[in-house]
Amino acid sequence: MTTIPPTSVSLLKDISDGTASARWTDFYHRYVPAMRGFLRDRYPSVEDDDVIQETLVALMKAMPDYHYTPDRHGHFRNWLMGIVKHKALDALDRARHFSDIKAGIAEMGERPPLEPAATDDDSWKRSAMEAAVDQLMSDESITARTREVFRHVALMHEPPEDVARQFGISRNNVDQIKKRMIDKLSALVSAMTGKN
């Protein structure tokens, strides 16, 4: 069971004013353990650090307009955990979508090109994926090296360590490039299929 600390009205006022940014450190130490516990209890598959970071960014934007009136708007802890829950659900949606995109990329490497007359739903999805990959790989706003790293690690399924050595970058850089490119690919597929 997650224990949420009592609300500190003075702390909320200080971070709402925006004049005492050092008080965000106090906020972090006071509330992050409760957020982390909430996420691990209810959403163990999400990256809790990512969700907490997104929650803190949302709070920094919202706090200047926030007024603590528990009798009218409920307790701060409920509002805070509502934001954490919303961000966790967003993360789960992204993870599902990311998984679908990765499966589509893997499938592209396993099948021959589609016949133009293919009409079934799987073929249509695969066609959308192929069109999105073609568009992404011809996007000149993306550096040639980034496109090549992505091609080797995602489309040719080469081990990330080998790709890192081949391009003289770290394994972490390879992972970041792959994630950024899959995010772009996901957005393209969503635009083509009308799915968010």
pLDDT tens-digit series, residues 79-100: 888 899 988 888 887 777 666 6
Residue 104 within any structural domain of the chain? no
Q: Has residue 109 got a pLDDT over 70?
A: no
* pLDDT tens per residue, range 158-190: 898 999 998 899 999 999 998 888 888 888 777
Which of 30, 65, 93 terminates a domain? The answer is 93
This prediction's pTM: 0.50
Is pLDDT larger for residue 196 or for residue 128? 128
Which among 93, 120, 150 is the end of a domain? Answer: 93
As a residue count, the chain comes to: 196
Task: Let me know whether 86 and 123 are in one domain.
Answer: no
Q: Is residue 164 a part of any domain in this protein?
A: yes
Range of the domain at 36: 9-93
Give tens-digit pLDDT for 33-52.
999 999 998 888 888 888 99
Look up the CATH number of the domain holding residue 58. Answer: 1.10.1740
pLDDT of residue 192: 66
- The predicted pLDDT at position 99 comes to 66
Quote the Cα angle for 55-170-138, to 5°.
80
- Angle, alpha carbons 8-60-4 (nearest 5°): 35
Among 43, 63, 93, the domain boundary falls at 93
Do the Cβ atoms of 107 and 172 come closer than 8 Å? Answer: no
Same domain, 141 and 184: yes
Residue 123 within any structural domain of the chain = yes
Q: Are residues 21 and 60 in the same domain?
A: yes
Determine the pLDDT at residue 1: 58
Q: Which of the pair, 142 or 121, is modelled with greater confidence?
A: 142
pLDDT at 121: 54
Does residue 67 sit within a domain? Answer: yes
| Alpha carbon distance 139, 59 (integer Å) | 35
The better pLDDT of the pair 112, 95 is held by 95
* Residue 64 within a domain: yes
Distance from C-alpha of 159 to C-alpha of 47, rounded to nearest angstrom: 24
Q: Which residue has the higher pLDDT, 179 or 67?
A: 179
- Looking at the structure, tell me whether residues 35 and 88 fall in a common domain: yes
Whether residue 63 sits in one domain with residue 36: yes
What's the pLDDT at 20?
58
Q: Both 22 and 87 in a single domain?
A: yes
Number of domains within the chain: 2
Question: What six digits make up the tokens of 100?
Answer: 């679908």
pLDDT of residue 118: 45
